[in-house]
Structure 1
Amino acid sequence: MEKDNGRLPWFVVVPDRVVSSEIMHRLRDRAERVVSYPSNRPWLLGSWGENELTVCASGSKSLATVGTCSLSSAELAVRLKSVTDIGDIERAISGAHGSFAVVGSVNGRCYLRGNASGARRIYHASIDGVTFGADRARTLAWLSRADIDLSQLAARIAFPVLPHPIAKRAMWAGVHALEPAEALQLAADGSHRTVTWWHAPPAELSLGQGAVPLREALRAAVAVRVRPGEVVGADLSGMDSTSLCFLAAEAGARLVTSTVRWSDPGNEDHAYALQSHERLANAENLVFSSAELPAFFTGLDRRREPADEPHALKWDRAASMHVSDVVRAFGASRRLSGHGGDHVVQPPVLYLRRMLRHRPLSALRQLAGWRARDRWDWKATGNLLLDRSTYPAWLATTAGRLREIDVLDTNPEPWGCRPQLPPWASDMAIELLRDLLRSASERVGPLGPDACRHVWIHHVQEAGSVARLLAHTSDDEGLRIESPYCDDAVVNACLSVRPDQARAPWSYKPLLAEAMSGIVPEAHLRRETKDHCGQEWFAGLRANQRDLADWSDSSLLVELGIADEAMLRNAMLNPYVLCGGAAQLANTLGAEEWLRDLSAYPTPRYLSAAAEEATQ
């Protein structure tokens, strides 16, 4: 959502019943807007931009989208006519493009959900026996006065990523996060239930067949975010962002593109950006050298509105803010990002396992290509093809290997990246995460019918999680970053393609290249490289080493028993010897930053601002 009067947007959904006067008083004090049920009881309370809520009502039923949605109020009203029960809501909303939450009410029963990638999330909490839903976990944590869940905090310093379902859980005791594929139903008696609203489409299409719906989904995802003549910022770097730039130009946007020229001599973004700019009519092309941008890790001492969960520390946040400030000065109201393209348009290499059973000769040729490209060893290659472990069994095994650190390993794991804890993780942190993994192994299954499908969907949800963070931080900083690759229609289009068609060792993102053929210059679609900024990372460490040392000396992770002070300080002062690479430190720094931000803003600023205005 866009910011309204400089504040972050939020909403809470209340069931159609009498609710504790103390709870409602606290909500009404903070809410700038209220949408009511036909009973005149509050339904939606919160703060949102003028164009971010589309709502219609007819008799005892209401329907709303919150976010960026292609449906107008009139179109929504037409669709509402077919709704007789909350089970009809998904059919009524089908075919809409954009990134939005859905909230509906029929005869006093309420329905709400986010989106499939998790770029829009829904949380719920029971307070005084009544379930409330919300788009921000912090809102419910404040409303219920919840404490941080130390198990989840311990999990967040694991690297490189957490597995399903631990990665998507809320950070507060008593606050629950819906799975992206789930919807929440609220009954008038205060109870709730969850239902599945999204299923991944069958992967049946060839590359050529799947490219057409992907092209149209991306075209619609961009078009719903721009208007002819509107000034729009856009990153112009790799294939993902370049594709969005050409689609935005096609939609009539006045583009202000930005390219960062990192110092690695092998980087090519700048050269490709210059070629693209020649084909982008009326675009203003901004090129930033790394020397003119704030160093990585700049701003560690600046406290910000915390997000709903910790994320890996964004090394280049100050640099990104600088770019956004310049782009905004040209009149841009938003900035398109290619984030999510890596996760959404290409499946994991685990597709080889199924391919071996159905097309063994082709699979073996591709296997040889992957071994040569990524330098897999023979043991890992054999495990990839022959492993028959179930997902619960893999989770249980992983729980016993948290201290085993892979040294920049590129070998594939049978069910995705294995979570590891850094050397400074305390014994308590190890036990807490181990218990989470073992508990999950007894209760959950994979996200798909096989390992490839599971990992692909998990990658999509990882992308959605970061897209949500980008939206949060950019809202707080004044220029919203949009991630069209995380829209439902784009995700569904990609997942509809057979994995063995959507990836190969000899081509880079073949599905996106086929979809953008004729729109993006062919030279860009044949590109197989990505830029790197390792030199800037090390330079930023050197420039901000004192702040990093101060963090270790006053670490809140240490205070809570999650990290060992001496080992954390050693890592902060000597990050060059981290055997797990930058990711080993990133999640710990992100968790530390999140705790410090929470300490600075125990009550969300987006809630306190409205209350302060009401008393003036």
Structure 2
Amino acid sequence: MWFGGTASASCPSLRPSQARFLTSDSPTLWASDDWPPRELRTVRHRERRISVFGPCGATDAQLAEIAAAGAPDDVARRWSGSYTLVCREPERTMVWTDLGWAWPIYVHTTKTGTLWASSSLLLASRTGYAPDLEQLRARLHGPAGAEAVVERSYFADVARIPPGHRLTIDRNGSTRIERMWKPELQHRSDLPAVLRAELESAVHTRLSGGLPLSCDLSGGFDSTALALIAGERLHRSGRSILGVTVHPTGITRGGDLDYAREAGRRRGIRHEWLPLSEEDAPYQRMDALAAADEPPPSAVSHAYLTKQLRWSSREHGRTVHLTGDGGDGLLLTRTAHLTDLVRSGQPWRAVKETALWAHTRRTSWWRVAKEAVEPPPGALHELFPLATGNQREFVDSVLVAGRTARADGQLAKVCGVHLHNPYFDSRLVDLCLSIPPHDLPGPARYKPFMADAMHDLFPSRLARRTTKGDACPDHFGGLRRALPDLRQLMRGRLEDLGLMDPERFDGVLEETAAGIRADLYPVEAAVSAEAWLRALTRHPSTNWTPAPVGEHV
């Protein structure tokens, strides 16, 4: 599922053979045949066309105003939802990327012009899905390396456009990229109420299409909030959302499951339990991973993800699924906040919060202070004028997670389900980045803004929650069970490309499975990269054909 366009000095321009044109007289903007009609609108004013892809809360009248007056700089965050806005004029095409990077935009330049699309996998079909070896090598070295070059995708000769920017493509195919967004710190005395309003708008925008929805119901704050908001709205019209709680076979009580059960009793929620077996554990069936724009975040746990989505679709007819992904990044305060407090003249509060965070994590003050003054390296924040360390860490983590979540969406589409991640919506990202240091809770406090925002809907036990569940034991268990298969898997594409020594990696696998190494990243990064590379070899090629002669940008 993708959209994109062409700008070419020559005639005719190219398009994917599976593409359909948005208008009969415009062969330079197209979308895949399976793009949902409810998430595509086009309005025209004289020679200017405005097209919106993705869930968007704008009315037709508001889009008509934009078409008449021209798109303002803040158009990507003006309405609820995660959407990309495209403005076509006779001499140029302009594309506004969303703030949460939920719809990343990619560019491939040819000798005759420029192709752009919402899928790097689609554009990479032009070059035989050739991976960018430097990007893969950087990923294997660590998460910071994987994001060291913002514009570099996982495919050779395919560049990505940053979030919160505008891509302009002239008629002859030349391009330029400009930043359109700057987070502004703003004190709000009613922040929980504003957060609640934005969450409701994000969910209601997804409900407007009238399709049957499902939602994760894990027992955590984030998925529960979405399920409760959707249930309240759907209940008014006699409908419900399917709340799905996955659990180990034979275990339905304890920990998060008790929170999920209590939330699942609320009106408008049809609560279903999906048992998982050892076959659905992390690192299972890695040879069945589907191709995507990049190694998906859920690559090593794709067995359970795809089982859940296929079950929701086939057994319950749900084709749209909401996840709580991104909520942690959006609503948790980073340790860099401690240095922000010192810089803003609140040193004693910084000392207090350091002590609380050390106590919560059962670590030393020194370790917490060290993390605060030495935040994880990242490059994305350098594109934006940010005032605080918390903002910089937010941008480097949350926005990157928004982009990578698109790859999970591609896995879901193979299951016949459209995946939505409302916590990456532009307005929610902008809101949470605008909170000044003196208004932020300390890192040790667990999402107090969410608890206050949802006080009337959250079950009382859930609202008092101070921690979240830990999936690491499941991953270590799945890794131990899959060791023989993983040893065989890792003698493959990475080795062929000179990026992996499988004999040496065997030692890393065994030490991690035994618990000698506590960090799962080296194993997860390598296994997901290998499975992704193998998926590319199985992915069918895309034919590109000349578009009919007509309008060109």
Q: 1:571 aligns with which of 487, 491, 508?
A: 508
Whichever residue aligns with residue 476 of structure 1, its letter is: V
**In the TM superposition, what whole-angstrom CA distance separates every residue of 1:51-81 from its partner, at most 9, and x where no partner exists?**
2211111211000111111224444223322
CA distance, structure 2, for counterparts of residue 608 and residue 106 of structure 1: 24
* 1:352-363 → structure 2 map (5 Å cutoff): 352-357=338-343, 358-363=345-350
CA distance in 1, matches of 2:247, 2:366: 39
In structure 2, the residue matched to 1:102 is 85
**Out of 10, 19, 35, which is 1:19 matched to?**
10
C-alpha distance in structure 2 between counterparts of 1:204 and 1:347, whole Å: 16
Q: Deviations over 1:488-517 (max 9, x none)?
A: 011112122224533325531112112222
Match of 2:217 among 232, 236, 260: 236
Of residues 34, 55, 64, the one that matches 2:42 is 55
Q: CA deviation at 1:379?
A: 4.3
1:69-88 correspondence runs (5 A): 69-83=56-70, 88=71
Distance in 1 between residues matched to 2:110 and 2:62, nearest whole Å: 36
What is residue 400 of structure 1 aligned with on the other side? Answer: none
SS in 2 for 1:118: coil
Kindly state the Cα deviation for residue 535 of structure 1 after the two structures are TM-superposed. Answer: 4.1
- Find the partner of 1:246 among 228, 245, 259: 228
- Give the corresponding residue for 1:426: none
Partner of 1:192: 175
- The 3 A distance-change label for structure 1 pair 413 and 254 is same
Matched, 1:340 2:331: no
Q: Is the 8 A contact 2:3 2:117 kept in 1?
A: yes
| Amino acid aligned to 1:316 | S
**Greater CA deviation, 291-300 or 111-120?**
291-300
1:301 partner letter: D
Match of 1:515 among 446, 449, 453: 453
| Partner Cα distance (1:378, 1:93) in 2 | 41
Deviation at 1:44, TM superposition (A): 3.3
SS of match in other structure, 1:527: coil
Q: 1:324 matched to which residue of 2?
A: 309
Question: Structure 1 pair 603/92, CA: closer, same or farther in 2 (3 Å)?
Answer: same
Alignment counterpart, residue 484 of structure 1, candidates 404, 419, 422 = 422
Structure 2 counterpart of 1:338, which letter? G
CA contact (8 A) 2:230 2:268 kept: no
Counterpart AA for 2:430: N
Q: In structure 2, what residue type is equivalent to 1:42?
A: T
Q: Secondary structure at the match of 2:273?
A: strand
SS at match of 1:68: coil
One-letter code aligned to 1:223? H
The letter for the 2-side match of 1:246 is: L
Letter in 2 for 1:33: F
Q: Is the CA contact 1:232–1:335 (under 8 Å) kept in the aligned structure 2?
A: yes
2:164 equivalent in structure 1:
181
Alignment CA distance shift 1:141-1:55 (3 Å):
same
What's the TM-score, normalizing by structure 2?
0.88
Deviation at 1:364, TM superposition (A): 1.3
Structure 2: distance between partners of 1:66 and 1:256: 26
Residue deviations 1:89-124, cap 9 Å, x none? 445665221111111113321101321111111111
The answer for the alignment partner of 2:23 in structure 1 is 35
1:61 and 1:104, CA in 2 relative to 1: closer, same or farther beyond 3 A?
same
Letter in 2 for 1:565: P
Offset of residue 545 of structure 1: 2.4
Measure, in 2, the Cα distance between the counterparts of 1:123 and 1:274: 42
Letter in 2 for 1:355: L
Structure 1, unpaired ranges of 5+: 1-8, 384-411, 420-439, 612-616
Return the match for 1:550 from 479, 482, 488. Answer: 488
SS in 1 for 2:140: coil
CA contact (8 A) 1:227 1:251 kept: no
Deviations 1:515-538 (A, max 9, x none): 222232333122112223444334
Task: Kindly tell me the number of residue pairs found equivalent between the two proteins.
Answer: 536
Give me the whole-angstrom Cα distance separating, in 2, the residues matched to 1:211 and 1:451: 23
When residues 222 and 363 of structure 1 are mapped into structure 2, their CA distance, relative to the original with a 3 A threshold, is: same
Could you tell me which residue of structure 1 aligns to residue 375 of structure 2?
416
Runs (5+) with no aligned partner, structure 2: 548-553
> Which amino acid is the alignment partner of residue 233 of structure 1?
S
Instruction: Describe the SS at the equivalent of 2:295.
Output: coil
Give the conservation status (yes or no) of the 8 Å contact 2:125–2:541.
yes
Indicate the SS of the match to 2:338: helix
Residue 10 of structure 1 is matched in structure 2 by 2
Partners of 1:11 and 1:46 within 8 A in 2: yes
Distance in 1 between residues matched to 2:63 and 2:137, nearest whole Å: 43
Residues 15-414 of structure 1 mapped to structure 2, 5 A cutoff:
15=7, 18-19=9-10, 21=12, 24=14, 27=15, 29-35=17-23, 40=26, 42-44=28-30, 46-47=32-33, 48-83=35-70, 88-90=71-73, 95-143=78-126, 147-162=130-145, 164-166=147-149, 169-200=152-183, 202-206=184-188, 208-227=189-208, 231-237=212-218, 238-252=220-234, 253-262=239-248, 268-278=255-265, 280-291=266-277, 294-304=280-290, 306-312=291-297, 314-328=299-313, 329-357=315-343, 358-383=345-370, 412=371, 414=373
Write the deviation string for residues 192-245 of structure 1: whole angstroms up to 9, x where unpaired: 111112222x22225x42222211111000001114975321111200111111
> Bigger CA drift: 578-587 or 509-518?
578-587
Mapped partners of 1:417, 1:36: distance in 2: 49
Contact 2:19 2:30 in 1 (8 A): no
8 Å Cα contact 2:231/2:267 also seen in 1: yes
Q: Deviations over 1:36-55 (max 9, x none)?
A: 66xx5533354322222111
Matches of 1:502 and 1:519 in 2, distance apart?
Answer: 23
Q: Distance in 1 between matches of 2:176 and 2:516?
A: 45
Matched, 1:562 2:499: yes
Could you tell me how far apart the structure 1 residues matched to 2:67 and 2:479 are? 55
Give the direction of change, closer, same or farther, for the CA distance of 1:586–1:515 in structure 2 (3 Å limit). Answer: same
- Asked whether the equivalents of residues 447 and 454 of structure 1 are also in contact (C-alpha less than 8 Å), the reply is no
Greater shift in the superposed pair: 354-363 or 117-126? 354-363
After TM superposition, give the deviation of residue 127 of structure 1 in Å.
0.7
Moved more, 115-124 or 257-266: 257-266
State how far apart, in whole Å, the 1-side matches of 2:206 and 2:333 are.
Answer: 27
Distance, in Å, in 1 between the alignment partners of 2:252 and 2:458 is 25
